[in-house]
Amino acid sequence: MTVRQSPAGREEAAEILALHNGNALEALRTMIAERDAVEERLAIATMIMTRRCDSPRHGRGG
pLDDT band per the 50, 70, 90 thresholds, residue 52? confident
Is this structure's pTM higher than 0.75?
Answer: no
Average model confidence (pLDDT) across the chain = 88
**pLDDT value at position 60?**
55
pLDDT above 60 (res 22): yes
| CA gap 45, 50 in Å, rounded | 9
Alpha helices in 1-62 (DSSP H): 7-19, 24-54
What's the farthest any 2 CA atoms get from each other in the chain? 56
